[in-house]
Chains A and B, each alone.
Chain A
Amino acid sequence: MSVEVVLFWLFAACTLLSAAVVVVVRSPLSCAISLVGTFFSLAGIYVLLWAHTIAVLQVLVYAGAIMVLFLFVIMLLSLAEVGPGTKLSFSRLLGAGAAVALFAALLGSILKLPVRPDAWAADPAKAAAFGTLDSVGKLLYTSYLLPFEAVSVLLLVAIVGAVVVAKSRI
């Protein structure tokens, strides 16, 4: 077993375990902390997929900015202690059944995918440039320039919208 395989199973187990804790645990604070763990282990998985830039962004934006926002709101609403109890009801059983059925359907279609050898990775120049900040940045500022600028407008609208919605009196 190579190091890559060991790391993959380690990160995959951490991801699924902490994601399950997010879904199951009652206290929102524990959910948020567990979500940070999910984001960090996913960043590890991204590195295994040669997506270094996205892995760094994942840690910065998700584990940094978004989680701070979540924790801030939890503290603001002082929800750390209270959490609605989990009663077994018909709609919840239906929801759990739907999620399991979705997983079965996805699994069925994923296992039918043809296995393609990644012949491109044999080229050392291509493999070295894949996923670096240099190559991803070049792509973002050439082919994806318009969506990139649109995202900046979207973020501006989101900032203004968040202030307008959350502020009680402007």
Chain B
Amino acid sequence: MAVPITHYLVLAAALFCLGALGVLIRRNALVVFMSVELMLNAANLTFLAFARERGDLSGHAAAFFVIAVAAAEAAVGLAIIIAVFRSRNTVNVEELRTMRH
């Protein structure tokens, strides 16, 4: 391999941490959601990197399922955001504090 597998893994780790950072510091629920998608993509990249290293296609099947679950999650999550926006008129996660405590 021209590019060692470690490079791909470090890239995936950086992408995952950027996603985690977005989830922790952003207040717009939509952007938090996009950051979750970034984290899912980082997991996918790790699956594919190990699949390439070991010559095992199971990693590709796992990535396929992650993409399918991400699609389902995006549909339901965005529906929840729309429902929350309808009742509260905001998507700021710091103003949504009914379920705190």
Report B-chain residues with C-beta under 8 Å of the C-beta of A84: 27-28, 92, 94
Please count how many residues in chain B sit with their CB below 8 Å of the partner chain's CB atoms. Answer: 71
Give the size range of A's interface with the partner. Answer: 35 or more
Cβ-defined contact, A144 with B61, below 8 A? yes
**In the complex, per-residue mask of B52-66: 1 if CB is within 8 Å of any chain A CB, else 0:** 111101101101110
> What separation, in Å, do the CA atoms of A139 and B63 have in the docked complex?
13
Closest-CB distance, B9 to chain A (whole angstroms): 5
A68 to chain B, nearest CB (A): 10
Do A28 and B30 contact each other (CB < 8 Å), given the known contacts A45-B8, A155-B68, A155-B71? yes
Complex CA gap A74/B60 in Å reads: 32
Residues facing A in B61-100 (CB within 8 A) are 61, 63-65, 67-76, 78-83, 85-86, 91-92, 94
Q: Are A69 and B24 in contact (CB under 8 A)?
A: no
Known: A12-B11, A39-B41, A107-B10. A57 touches B81 (CB 8 A): no
Residue of B nearest to A117 (CB): B1
CB within 8 Å for A35 and B3 given contacts A51-B60, A96-B21, A113-B9: no
B98 to chain A, nearest CB (A): 17
- Taking a contact as CB atoms under 8 Å apart, the answer to whether A19 and B19 are in contact is yes
Do B7 and A155 have beta carbons less than 8 Å apart? no
* B25–A92 CB distance below 8 A: yes
Question: With A45-B45, A53-B60, A155-B72 given, is the CB distance from A95 to B79 under 8 Å?
Answer: no
Q: Does A115 contact B (CB under 8 A)?
A: yes
CB distance from A120 to the nearest CB of B (A): 3
Chain B residues closer than 8 Å to A140, beta-carbon distance: 61, 64
Closest to A144 in B: B61
CA distance in complex: A19, B13 (Å): 12
| Complex contact B72–A158 (CB within 8 A) | yes
Among B37, B76, B92, the residue within 8 A (CB) of A161 is B76
Q: Of residues A39, A46, A118, A136, which shows the largest number of chain B Cβ atoms within 10 Å of its Cβ?
A: A46
Whether A19 contacts B57 by the Cβ 8 Å rule is no
26 contacts between A and B (CB under 8 A): A8-B3, A15-B11, A19-B18, A23-B31, A31-B31, A48-B3, A58-B67, A61-B67, A61-B70, A61-B71, A77-B30, A103-B17, A111-B6, A115-B4, A118-B1, A120-B55, A136-B64, A139-B58, A143-B61, A158-B72, A159-B75, A161-B75, A161-B79, A162-B76, A165-B79, A166-B83
